[in-house]
Structure 1
C-alpha cells in the first residue's frame, strides 16, 4: 500500500467493534511511533496516558459524562480497543532540559564537549524565547499535535482505525489523572481499534478542498 493510498483510505472512525482487540505487537509499534515523533528542538514536551483495558478506558471516558453534550464521544472511547490521552507539558523546567540533554549525550549525539555545549545553548535559547514571550504552553501544545499526526498516520499504515477526540471535559480529565499536579494539560484522546458495521463514516467518500484552493506558488 502506497503512502497516498493510505492517506486516501484513512478516515475518522465513528463506531468501533468492541470484540476486536489490537494485537500487543501492533500497539507496541504504534506507541513507539508516538515516542519517535519529532518536536521543535527535540523538546518532546508531552506525556501519553495509555488505556489498554476496560478500566482504563472508563477512566478516560469519565471526561465525557453521560447526559452531557460530550456523551456522544463516550462510546468511541469505551468501544475502541485502546485509547491514548495526549498531554502537553505546561512548563519546561531547567531540570527537564538537563534530562533531555543527558539523554541525548547517553544516545551518543555529541562527539565532543563543544558539541554538547552548543546544543545546550541552542535548546535553552529557544525555550527561553518562549518563556519570555509568555507563550511556552501554546508552543508545547503545538508539538503534541505533531505527535498526534504521527500516531494517526502510523495507525492507518498498519490497518488500524483511529478517532481523534477533543470533545471531553478537561477539568474532569485533569482531576481523574491528577494532571494539574504534574503540570500537564490534556489535549486530545486518540481511540484506536477496528470499526464496526455501524460506523457511518466507513463508506463515505473522502472530501478535501481542491489543490488550487490550498496551494499557491511562492
Structure 2
C-alpha cells in the first residue's frame, strides 16, 4: 500500500472489535511514530500515556463521562489507547534533560554547538513564556505528534479514533496530570474496527483540490 492508498484507507473508527488486539511489533512502531515526531526546536514538550489493558482503559474512560459518555465504548473496546499530553511549562531541568539526551545521541560537534542549541531553544521558550501562550505552543506540538500517529496507524492497517470529547478535569484527576505539569490534549483509540462500525463502509469526503489549493 503506497502513501496515497494509506491516506484513502485511513478513517475515524466508530466501533472496535474487542476480540482483536494489536501485535507487539505494531505497537512498537506506533510508539516510534510518537517518539520520533518533530517539534519546534526539538523541545519535545509532550508526554504519552498508553493504556493496554482493561484497568488502564477504564482509567482513561473516566474522562468519558456525562456529556462525553458516547466516547467511552471507543476507549474501553479498543485494543490500545493513548492520551497525548502537552507540557504546561518547560522548566530548566526539563530543558537540561533534552540537551543532555541530544549530547548523548551525538548531536553536537563541540561545546559551541551545544551552547548554541541551548540558547536557541531557551530563547523560544522565553518568547512564549513572556507572550503568555506557552501551553498553546506546546499543545500545537502535541498535535504534530497526533498527525504522525494517525498516519502511521493508517500505513500499518490500524484503525484509530482521535477524540477531543472528554472531561479534562476528570482525566486530570485520574492521572494527576496538572501536578506533573501536563494537560491532556487528545485521546486516541487504536485497534481494529468492528463489523458494526458504520463509518468503515462510508466513502471519504474531502473538499476538492481547486478549493483547497492555490498557487503562490
- Normalised by the size of structure 2, how large is the TM-score? 0.98
| Equivalent position of 2:30 in the other structure | 30
SS in 2 for 1:201: helix
SS in 2 for 1:172: helix
Question: 1:50 & 1:118 partners in 2: Cα distance?
Answer: 34
> What CA deviation, in whole Å up to 9, does each residue of 1:90-149 have, x standing for no partner?
000111111111110110000111111111111111111111111111000000000000
| Equivalent position of 1:16 in the other structure | 16
Off by >6 Å, runs of 4+ in structure 1: none
Alignment coverage as a number of residue pairs: 216
Unaligned runs of 5+ in 2: none
Task: Identify, as 1 or 2, the structure richer in helix.
Answer: 2
State the shift of 1:48 in Å.
0.5
State the shift of 1:69 in Å.
2.1
Pairing of 1:126-205 with structure 2 (within 5 A):
126-205=124-203
Question: 2:129 & 2:191 partners in 1: Cα distance?
Answer: 39
SS in 1 for 2:67: coil
| Equivalent position of 1:86 in the other structure | 84
SS in 1 for 2:32: helix
